């Protein structure tokens, strides 16, 4: 170890709890319900092969050259066209995954000690992305319908202490799987506009609905009061690292400058390939196949939970889309402490604590139903129930 003096912000950078757990689960025979990896059989390999060939044959060296920071124009247009409100392609910034959008937004909106509001619990990766700016993250109370608007107003702060942003995931939230109702969306947008707090809407899972599409995005209701983030990771493939944000025109140039400083631009080849793949009605044909698979997997997990957790004081969410559900252990039990007992029985999950900005509920944990097969889900949930029983007996 050197004796270098590190920046204060380096101390705020924590290893991802999920990556640490993935190390633990890297042993043969373990069934991991921990990671948030999309099911690889949904990646459209043939469409990508064809698109790569087309891009090289058609665009040649241009596909391998430096490109503009805003993003590949046809992809920006396609994103604007996909969204259910009037979006000017000039408001679309293509980012290196939507994770980069979080980083850019943090750089533009947050100072050290800026107040920022998040859901309880919230996406761990957002807390990590904002952490280097050293904000004060304040958890807003939330229920099954999403963030509680009264608590949002109570925690908004005033004057110099007014929250610089509120980060929200209205659809099939990571980690809980819950979705904000129409009424809650309308109330939150109205309150945020009244208080002048920008809403940062993160929507990587919105297309992965099972029964019916979720209500309209927050941003559609007040485009000048929101920054919207989306991603191709969950509807095509995450390895391409293609995400995007849509920002009001007044703030867009600052986000663009932050992007230029960060990485000049998102890989142009990948952008062209995605633009090629999604031409026409590709997503309209492809996404329903992902929905159908994930819905079956969710049903398998819910049935296994009903069966295996009977008699245990355990509760869980019933997501209407997305990739995750959220489980609450019996009173007095700690999910972090349960993990080694579960890993001994060859099942892994993510403990809930790192998803909380403020007080954590140590009884919670996140399960993904999309990467393991149905047979593995059955085995894993039975093993998890055994681990809970063993832990309860001390």
Ligand X SMILES: Cc1ncc(COP(=O)(O)O)c(C=O)c1O
| Site residues, ligand X (CB under 6 A) | 36, 97-99, 123, 125, 169, 174, 202, 204, 231, 233, 238, 243
The least CB distance from residue 124 to ligand X, in Å, is 9
Cβ–Cβ under 8 Å, residues 22 and 356: no
User: Which residue's CB is nearer to ligand X, number 173 or number 391?
Assistant: 173
Alpha-carbon gap, residue 373 to 41, rounded angstroms? 11
**Sign, Cα dihedral of 177, 182, 184, 189:** positive
Q: CA of 120: how far to CAs of 178, 227, 228, 240, 352, in Å?
A: 11, 20, 20, 30, 11
Cβ–Cβ under 8 Å, residues 316 and 326: yes
User: Which residue's CB is nearer to ligand X, number 99 or number 371?
Assistant: 99
165: nearest Cα among 131, 186, 138: 138
The least CB distance from residue 345 to ligand X, in Å, is 26
User: Which residue's CB is nearer to ligand X, number 353 or number 388?
Assistant: 353
The least CB distance from residue 233 to ligand X, in Å, is 3
206: nearest Cα among 216, 196, 193: 216
User: Which residue's CB is nearer to ligand X, number 177 or number 204?
Assistant: 204
User: Which residue's CB is nearer to ligand X, number 157 or number 352?
Assistant: 352
Where b means 16+ CB within 10 Å and e means fewer, 128-144 reads bbbbbbbbebbbbebee
The least CB distance from residue 234 to ligand X, in Å, is 8
- DSSP code per residue over 146-194: EE-HHHHHHTS--GGGS-SEEEE--SS-TTT-----HHHHHHHHHHHHH
Residue nearest to ligand X (CB): 97
User: Which residue's CB is nearer to ligand X, number 133 or number 174?
Assistant: 174
The least CB distance from residue 231 to ligand X, in Å, is 3
* Secondary structure string (H, E, C) spanning 233-288: CCCCCHHHCEEEEECCCCCHHHHHHHHHHHHCCCCHHHHHHHHHHCCCCHHHHHHH
User: Which residue's CB is nearer to ligand X, number 245 or number 309?
Assistant: 245
The least CB distance from residue 152 to ligand X, in Å, is 19
The least CB distance from residue 121 to ligand X, in Å, is 12
């Amino acid at each position: 170890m050197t004796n270098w003096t590190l920046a204060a912000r380096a101390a705020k950078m924590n290893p991802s709890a999920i990556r640490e757990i993935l190390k633990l689960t890297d042993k043969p025979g373990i069934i991991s319900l921990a990671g948030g990896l999309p099911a690889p059989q949904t990646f459209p390999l043939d469409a990508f092969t064809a698109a790569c060939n087309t891009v090289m044959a058609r665009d040649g060296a241009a596909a391998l050259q430096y490109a503009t920071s805003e993003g590949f124009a046809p992809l920006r247009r396609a994103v604007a066209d996909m969204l259910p409100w009037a979006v000017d392609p000039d408001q679309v910034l293509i980012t290196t995954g939507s994770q980069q959008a979080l980083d850019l937004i943090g750089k533009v909106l947050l100072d050290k000690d800026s107040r920022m509001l998040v859901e309880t619990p919230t996406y761990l990766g957002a807390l990590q992305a904002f952490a280097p700016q050293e904000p004060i993250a304040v958890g807003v109370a939330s229920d099954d319908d999403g963030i509680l608007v009264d608590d949002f107003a109570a925690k908004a702060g005033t004057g110099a202490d007014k929250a610089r942003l509120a980060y929200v995931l209205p659809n099939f939230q990571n980690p809980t799987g819950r979705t904000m109702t129409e009424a809650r969306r309308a109330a939150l947008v109205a309150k945020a506009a009244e208080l002048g707090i920008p809403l940062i809407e993160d929507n990587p899972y919105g297309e992965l609905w099972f029964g019916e599409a979720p209500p309209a995005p927050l941003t559609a209701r007040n485009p000048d009061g929101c920054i919207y983030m989306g991603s191709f990771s969950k509807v095509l493939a995450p390895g391409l690292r293609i995400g995007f944000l849509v920002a009001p025109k007044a703030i867009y140039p600052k986000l663009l400058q932050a992007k230029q400083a960060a990485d000049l631009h998102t890989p142009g080849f990948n952008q062209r390939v995605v633009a090629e793949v999604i031409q026409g009605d590709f997503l309209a044909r492809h996404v329903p196949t992902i929905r159908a698979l994930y819905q079956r997997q969710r049903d398998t997990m819910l049935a296994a939970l009903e069966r295996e957790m009977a008699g245990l004081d355990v509760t869980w969410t019933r997501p209407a889309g997305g990739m995750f559900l959220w489980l609450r252990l019996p009173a007095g039990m700690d999910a972090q402490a349960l993990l080694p007992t579960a890993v001994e029985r060859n099942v892994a999950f993510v403990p809930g604590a790192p998803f909380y900005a403020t007080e954590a509920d140590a009884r919670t944990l996140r399960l993904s139903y999309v990467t393991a097969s149905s047979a593995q889900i059955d085995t894993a949930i039975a093993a998890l129930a055994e681990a809970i029983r063993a832990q309860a007996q001390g």
